[in-house]
């Protein structure tokens, strides 16, 4: 606190407003437009972000702002892949030599293998931009990097199309997707919505620690 003013709160509000300006959804009200970012991560998370979003927590706000600041240094190209009435939108950080689609991911720890979510996303970019090869670059805050290459793959495309169609249908029918347990859950702002009920209802009876009489 500085005097009677809560400066931390004021700074956070500024972060929040910058975050809201940065986050660009496809037309949120149009379930026929699904971003590859939505279809490659937890479908339930994507649904909540469209239908009943919680404000961002401070960690994700700062992380998104840092990522977007880095991405603004690059071209940030947008394209889409059409399947019947559905459009899968994709954004690439750059296209090198008119040939290689490049996607950066800022991470706290460099991975030994690429995350399937990031591969699905990059593969969607390859189809949206009609390119054959992509490069996924993980970088940490110290500037260390690790790169993985990807050649476009029809099976991975089918998977993201399948996920995008499910999300699109559930958005139209106002049905919340099932929980997709993954490592993201632990830091997800919707954790309480997905798991709190189960936690409250559980008892230790199965361990013989329930009521005795």
CB of 78 to ligand SF4, least distance (A): 25
CB of 128 to ligand SF4, least distance (A): 24
Q: Which of 185, 204, 207, 210 binds ligand SF4 (CB under 6 A)?
A: 185
Per CB under 6 A, 190 contacts ligand SF4: yes
Residues 6-65 close enough to bind ligand SF4 by CB under 6 A: 42, 44-45
Per CB under 6 A, 117 contacts ligand SF4: no
Binding mask 60-99 for ligand SF4 (x = CB under 6 A): ----------------------------------------
Residue 94 or 179 with smaller CB distance to ligand SF4: 179
CB of 144 to ligand SF4, least distance (A): 27
Question: What gap in Å lies between CA 156 and CA 144, rounded to an integer?
Answer: 28
Residue 77 or 179 with smaller CB distance to ligand SF4: 179
Q: Going by C-beta distance under 8 Å and a sequence separation of 6 or more, which residues neighbour residue 20?
A: none
Question: What gap in Å lies between CA 159 and CA 153, rounded to an integer?
Answer: 10
Question: What gap in Å lies between CA 210 and CA 213, rounded to an integer?
Answer: 9
Question: What gap in Å lies between CA 93 and CA 45, rounded to an integer?
Answer: 23
Phi-psi region of 186 (alpha: psi -120 to 50; beta: other; left: phi over 0): alpha
Strands 86-92 and 77-83: antiparallel
Query: How many CB atoms within 10 Å of residue 161?
Result: 19
How would you class 134 by CB atoms within 10 Å of its CB: exposed for 0-12, middle for 13-18, buried for 19 or more? buried
Residues 143-172 close enough to bind ligand SF4 by CB under 6 A: none
Q: Which of 18, 141, 188, 211 binds ligand SF4 (CB under 6 A)?
A: 188
CB of 179 to ligand SF4, least distance (A): 4
The DSSP 8-state label assigned to residue 142 in this structure reads: T
Residue 16 or 180 with smaller CB distance to ligand SF4: 180
Q: Which residue shows structure tokens 């997707």?
A: 177
Residue 36 or 194 with smaller CB distance to ligand SF4: 194
Contacts with ligand SF4 by CB under 6 A lie at 42, 44-45, 179-180, 184-185, 188, 190-191, 194
């Amino acid at each position: 606190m500085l005097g009677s003013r809560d400066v931390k709160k004021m700074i956070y509000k500024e972060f929040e407003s910058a975050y809201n300006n940065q986050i660009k959804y496809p037309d949120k009200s149009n379930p026929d437009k699904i971003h590859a970012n939505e279809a490659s991560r937890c479908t339930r998370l994507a649904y909540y972000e469209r239908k009943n979003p919680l404000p961002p927590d401070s960690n994700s706000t700062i992380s998104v702002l840092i990522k977007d600041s880095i991405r603004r240094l690059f071209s940030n190209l947008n394209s889409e892949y059409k399947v019947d009435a559905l459009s899968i939108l994709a954004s690439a950080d750059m296209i090198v030599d008119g040939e290689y689609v490049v996607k950066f991911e800022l991470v706290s720890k460099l991975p030994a293998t690429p995350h399937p979510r990031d591969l699905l996303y990059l593969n969607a970019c390859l189809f949206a931009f009609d390119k054959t090869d992509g490069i996924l670059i993980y970088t940490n805050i110290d500037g260390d990097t690790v790169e993985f290459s990807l050649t476009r793959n029809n099976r991975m495309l089918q998977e993201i199309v399948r996920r995008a169609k499910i999300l699109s249908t559930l958005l139209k029918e106002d049905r919340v997707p099932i929980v997709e347990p993954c490592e993201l859950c632990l830091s997800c702002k919707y954790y309480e919505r997905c798991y709190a009920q189960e936690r409250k209802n559980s008892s230790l009876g199965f361990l013989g620690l329930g009521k005795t009489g």
